[in-house]
Amino acid sequence: MQHSKLSIVLVLLAFAAPQVASAGEVVEFALKESELSSPEKREVLLKRMTMFAAKSCDDGSVFATKDAIAACTKDLTTQFVKKVDHDALSKLAKTRASEPYRSASR
């Protein structure tokens, strides 16, 4: 019985690892001021931020679930946008976050 309890705890820790491991981790994202100069450039910047965040979150653990990576990506992208502190970029990010998910199937 003791062995099975230990296995369950190890599995739970493995799935929790992405959130725990990255909690104190510093992730730096570089950008140029010119990337904020137009709506098109801000759109590209936000996509780049999101892709960078997704890669950073996915590198956290081989046991990370898709949901954990998605939550981490959203959180990290939000932190980047807040640090940049640019009104138009913040509005764009807020708009993108509130867009409804669309799916279709036959």
76, with CB counted inside 10 A (0-12, 13-18, 19+), is: buried
Q: Is the confidence at residue 53, as pLDDT, over 80?
A: yes
pLDDT digit string, tens, across residues 16-45? 434 434 456 788 889 999 999 999 999 999
Q: Residue 63, by phi and psi: left (phi above 0), alpha (psi -120 to 50) or beta?
A: alpha
pTM: 0.68
Q: What average pLDDT does range 79-83 have in this prediction?
A: 93
Q: What percent of the chain has pLDDT over 90?
A: 41
